[in-house]
Structure 1
Amino acid sequence: MTTPPVRAPRRDARANRESILSAATTALSVDPHASIDTIARGAGLSRRALYGHFEDRDTLVRELIAKGASRFNDIALRIDDTDPRVALGRLTAMLWNEAAHVQVAASIALDEQHVSSTAEALAPLRRRVVDLVREGQAAGSLRDDVPAVSLARLIEETARTVITRMDAASPDALSLAVRAVLSISGLSWREAQALLAAHPDLVATQS
């Protein structure tokens, strides 16, 4: 017996699913505890229609985490600067330029219910940060009074705090985010200023 071909989702079904994900990104970036009703209204759909695409709120949030993490992990793998300080600055800047996606992931990560899911999804990015820290410590360019894994976590927490507390539209936001990461990594403000002066592309606004 011939197996019937699998039909691709109808265009309107795909559009509705993307609308839900977009509405969830918007809602959760403002309130990480936004309800299904709020998300459905943002997508212009009924609660029942939303449940036709996602089994429950947790399933929806997990897909958002996976989508955001995939973008972040890809960015981390593209960083190839030989100077760990420049690499950390570039990584911060590139993530910042994904502001809307970064902010929703950071907000979700602050929700205790999804900390473990976020950590698992962002494992490649976290490994890259640890590797950069170890390289910097070995070269004497990053602080070594803190173990590499702990310093990498401090860098992550600093970046997440800046991202969730600052207005991404501010003209100084990108520079301040990069400087905050460099500072916690062990650079003085003068060293950070000199590094950014030597690599102005790190904080160039991307359209």
Structure 2
Amino acid sequence: MNVLVFDTSTNNFSLSIIKDKKIVLNLSKNINKTYSKFLIPILKLSLKKSNLDIKEINYILTSLGPGSFTGIRIGIAVAKGIGITSKAKILGYSNMDVLANAINIDLKGKKIVTVIKSKNKDYYFQIFNHKKTAINKISTFSIDSLPRIFFHKNLIFSGDLDIKLINKLKNKKTIFYKKKPNAYILSNLFEKSNMLKMTKVLNPIYVYNHYAKKN
């Protein structure tokens, strides 16, 4: 089984390739230019380095967000294009699910708060129970106005945790698990047969109230 995983939902591009059920390539790069010019060349080069032909890919996994709408749409379009050539199965995933499932410590009596940086002082977040099941819809908050639940006890925060946010959240019962949503995490989960809640419906995750606020 050969799998191509990539994440274009933020400027922190990541890519991973699983060949014959083993991870053979991981790439992480900060992108300051548009994915429309960068993505296809880097995918071709990565497949070449992995000694894989595009037609040998069985699965393509691409991020549905939340994050940069433009980056996500480009990622989906490229995944579909490769899928036509390779006849691979294309699956989309939520960055929030990846962040929650990357945590490998005892979660008894705890909840997970996944956090992804948006723009300026804004963040996306979602809350998961100890079984790593989401218990609310993806929402947003500002560093200047934190949700009340963030100050509850026995929380594990996972994701884009900068110093300002950590300083505002510090208490004795809070655990910070600094992981970013990327292809490396997902490829490891996939390799272990943890399929998460992936979907064949490739629609970007749209946080309505966030975009309504911006317009």
TM-score by length of 2: 0.30
Q: Which one has a larger percent strand, Structure 1 or Structure 2?
A: 2
Q: Which has the larger radius of gyration?
A: 1
TM-score by length of 1: 0.31
Q: Which one has a larger percent helix, Structure 1 or Structure 2?
A: 1
